[in-house]
Amino acid sequence: MAKFIGDDFSVRDESGGFKARVATIFPYAKTIVTLPGIHATQRMAFVDALSLARVQEGKPPLTEEEQDAAMDQAVDLFVREQGVFIRPDPTQMDLAFAADEVLQEEVPSKRRIKYLMLDDRRVRDSLKRRGDCWRIFLPPTAPKQIRQMIVEAKSGIAGRAIYYYSPVTGTRWLTCQSFCDLAKLDDLELRLHISEIATYMARNNDNGYPEIDFFMADGKVKQSELEALAMCPAEGMREGFGAACLHVRQVTAAAYQQDDLDEPIWRNRMFGLLVTQRDDVVADDQSMGLDSDFSMRVEWLPGARIDAGELILDPAMDENHRENQATNASSVMRGLIFNLVQDYGDLEYINLGSVLPSSDRNPKRGGRREVYVAQIKQRRASSEVLQIIRLQKWGVRERLDQGKSLGEAMTEAEEYSQYVLDRRLACRQLQMNVPHRQTARKFSEKYDGSNRDYWGQYIWTPYFQRDYIGGIATNQVSSRKLADGAYAMTFARLLGEAAASNMIMGRAEMVDKTVGEIVFDVGDEILVEDGQGMPVEIVVSDQVGSFVDWTGGLERRAPEYAACVVRRLGAVTMRKEFMEAFLAGFVERFIRTQEEYNRNRRAFDTLFNHRPWNDGGSLSCRWSQTMKRLTTSDARGLAEMIRAAIPV
């Protein structure tokens, strides 16, 4: 156990928050300093305690060189409700990892120990090589969490908690309201706070940032004037402080003069400064290998690290960190990691993350929907491999939940796996642009579903794995990009081509055994750009819903495809041209697919003859009906129906 100089992490103050919000750890001495002050004063307190202990042992006190060496072995910490945050020195990551090991003895869960400095690639690379991407602290995005972070940032040095402290830069932001409210204090306490502000405004921390700065005052509050105020006679201090408050109000915009969490302008600006990236480090969103939009939907999970060729599973894997987290979550992680290790051999590191669903997803969809991203680095490879893993929607678990026997569940799960693979082949045959390679695999997990006859039984869980596609989901293309005429026209044509393939495939929702709305432009279509940022192609990453709507003519569906054009008309500068480019791409792809079918009719018609036929909807039956519908459809007539539904 570590020795604390000051209160331990469990002690709370009169407001209910943690008393030790700023701390410094000396991992090799297994000592944590939590005394009030800043990290620099906590380092000095440690050195003083070390020197005193030496003197008491009859040894000489530390020399200046020994004091500097001792302080260099320190790591900055911050204590919040979410846990303990480590702010590592990117040049001494081994020291940060040593601090991590000590903290795991003091903090109840490893999940509650996170790393700051997301913007520094050296930190991210060091963590991902350990399989610890999940340990990086990501700033909150929900308004409630943002408010909480701002509230918890309130801290003091030697006096009251009047500053908003940024754990990233180490700067304490003093707002106009907090400064002016000091007038409520008695003369002695007021003078102490003015002196504290003046003293620390003159200092920069180890990161090169000011210890104290005025919030949104644009550097117009002078440290020298506050220093003079702190030293002026008692009879003139109050009047001088009133003048200082007036000056701070004058140099601070009206929107920032009052601390108001309900005011978006104040709240968002304060939050931005608390989590701001360093000015001297270029943030690289691509260092994880993921596009920035996609990376925002990834929650990295405890997994495993590779040490001297040995696979070491993270003990935090077995902890449930959400109230509704399935009890078999660790089985999923283990199964996926074991398979990846077997597939890729001699690994340097592996990170596994859960992909949050797109906001456009229909929540009524049944079946299993978990999606994961795996970041893999082989020792002899020059670059990482990124894989997307999607659990099979209807596996053994889901069949057992329906009351099926284990034998029936296994058989039907295998049949569905084959159906998914055949469906992908069918999509490729009809010119849908799908990922080049996809593999099917399984892992075992313990069944704990609603069918009590099989509780505790180990079952096989199937999943599909493919290469990660670098690009932007079509429904996430920004208005800024669409405002570029050349970009918008190219994108519209590609979107029209994708819409044609989508319509031919009868891609739609299946809700309660009823065919629902079309599935298109909801996050499955990935727009790939070239080196100049221009659209090149649209890849359909997931073909879910294909051949769901396989009966009836396409005319009744055509107007639904107008929605993807209509929702973008407000962002494009040339609305009519955007619509025409979309329709031109649609007609061209539709006719080209018809021509390809007519040239190789026998190859198309017999593609799934070896599969069982079922009039109720086997793939061979659906394929046959889709081919008949393709030959009888009028591409230009369908395009006119889409045009009629677009209010240009």
Q: Are strands 438-446 and 472-473 parallel, antiparallel or unpaired?
A: unpaired
Angle at the Cα of 326 from the Cα atoms of 322 and 331, rounded to 5 degrees? 115
Instruction: Quote the Cα angle for 468-470-471, to 5°.
Output: 135
More confident residue, 278 or 198: 198
Please state which of the four CATH numbers 1.10.287, 1.10.3470, 1.10.1070, 3.40.50 is assigned to the domain occupying 472-644. 1.10.1070
pLDDT tens figures, 486-510: 999 999 999 999 999 999 999 999 8
Of residues 633, 641, 643, the one with CA closest to residue 580:
643
Give pLDDT, residue 290. Answer: 80
Mean pLDDT of 225-246: 93
| 298-301 vs 304-307, strand pairing mode | unpaired
For position 265, what pLDDT does the model report?
83
Q: Tell me: pLDDT of 568 over 90.
A: yes
Cα dist. 223→179, 227, 255, 288, 616 in Å?
14, 6, 24, 42, 81
pLDDT at residue 410 greater than cutoff 90: yes
pLDDT band at 622 (very low <50, low <70, confident <90, very high): very high
Distance from C-alpha of 316 to C-alpha of 335, rounded to nearest angstrom: 16
Residue 288: band (very low, low, confident or very high) from pLDDT cuts 50, 70, 90: low
Instruction: State yes or no: pLDDT of 541 exceeds 60.
Output: yes
Give the pLDDT band (50/70/90) at residue 282: very low
- Ranking 295-304, 555-564, 631-640 by mean pLDDT, the lowest is 295-304
- pLDDT at position 551 is 92
Question: What DSSP character marks residue 286?
Answer: G
* Residue 174: per-residue pLDDT: 97
pTM for this model (two decimals): 0.73
Structure tokens at 545: 């819903």
Structure tokens at 282: 């270029």
Q: How far apart are CA 300 and CA 3, in angstroms?
A: 32
User: Above 60 in pLDDT, residue 327?
Assistant: no
Residue 234 tokens read as 């008692």
Domain boundaries, the chain: 1-117, 139-278, 295-467, 472-644
What is the model's pLDDT at position 278? 43
The strand pair at 31-33 and 3-5 is best described as: parallel
Taking residues 549-562, what's their average pLDDT?
A: 94
